[in-house]
Structure 1
């Protein structure tokens, strides 16, 4: 991989994008979300550097906190979480899910999801365990960590 230049500017622009995206989300009382999500590292830069992956995880958590603040005024039940993939940084994302007209899949259940798992030391210091609960799931083809607020929204459950 070519040397990644302009990291400061890149992450400064990412912080602006997070603020803008949070403001543009529609949380009117008639709004609904069918597994809406946003990948902050869509190009997978975090796959090549642990330092960059950590910065993106920090950005995902900051974005998640912004969304939770906005969801405080949303009166319908919702689920929201951060997904950190075991293998691929480009699939890390922040999700919002509510009941919706597309499919009857609310509340969402995740196969083989185990809460209170051991958080990898690589990003353990990035997650405030007083504020968030962390779970891990592993399916046949994929796995990852779920970071969710302990007090806001409905929890994802396992089936």
Structure 2
């Protein structure tokens, strides 16, 4: 054997990425709810680390859910932040975040230092994907690995 473990059911896995909603059965968003940098990862197994072809469906799902959360956050007061963080080469760490004032005294609004509007990404395919997103603001940084922080103007508090 070559040591490569074959993953069964990947065709179904990727088909479900394109259609399933991770938020439909989550009645956790109402006017009294708070979030302490709650986040959700879409590529738990890191399949997207092996190729951008495998990463893209996870990113597509992340941004579909970003748009879903925009609608669901309408019941919150404007004291929240909705954003995504994408790492240069670590698909498993890509996540969608929701943050608000909270009883844990976490910093709100959440701030990330040394962000810039010029890309720091070395992953050209990811950079091209991010540049193709319409209506999103993009800020870039470096923290062990280059990353992009993405949000929408007019949705919660900006960065």
TM over 0.5: yes
Counterpart in the other structure of 1:133: 137
> CA 1:125 to 1:91, structure 2 compared with 1: closer, same or farther past 3 Å?
closer
Quote the Cα distance in structure 2 between the aligned partners of 1:146 and 1:155: 11
Unaligned stretches of 5+ in structure 1?
none
Shift of 1:16: 5.2
Shift of 1:34: 0.1
TM-score (norm 1): 0.82
Query: What secondary structure sits across from 1:21 in the alignment?
Result: coil
Supply the distance in 2 between the matched residues of 1:38 and 1:80 (Cα, whole angstroms): 12
The answer to whether structure 1 residue 13 and structure 2 residue 16 are counterparts is yes
1:35 aligns with 2:37: yes
RMSD: 2.4
The residue number in structure 2 matching 1:143 is 146
Work out the number of aligned pairs and report it: 154
SS of residue in 2 equivalent to 1:24: coil
Structure number, greater radius of gyration: 2
| Aligned counterpart in structure 1 of residue 76 of structure 2, from 74, 77, 81 | 74
CA contact 2:120–2:146 (8 Å) conserved in 1? no
SS for the counterpart of 1:72 is: helix
Aligned to 1:47: 49
- Give per-residue Cα distances to partners, 1:131-154, cap 9 Å, x unaligned: 101111113x23311111122111
